[in-house]
Structure 1
């Protein structure tokens, strides 16, 4: 089973799709991006 997460950033009209072979890794990536949302607001991502 392949898990994927969709993230829609303010500076992009395309959702960023992150593919992960493991659900745990997908959750870690999701938490990382959610915790770094301030960087997203500054345009780092």
Structure 2
């Protein structure tokens, strides 16, 4: 297979979707930390 025929993934073509995904991952991470901290505080 010749490399010129391979359809490469280009970040710029999916910029909006990547930004949305990063925002979602960040939101889930922050919320997870809040839940864990609340659980630790409640256990005391």
TM-score exceeds 0.5: no
TM-score, structure 2 length as denominator? 0.41
Higher RCO (CA 8 Å, separation ≥ 6 residues): 1
Highest Rg: 1 or 2?
2
TM-score, structure 1 length as denominator? 0.41
Which is richer in strand? 1
Which is richer in helix? 2
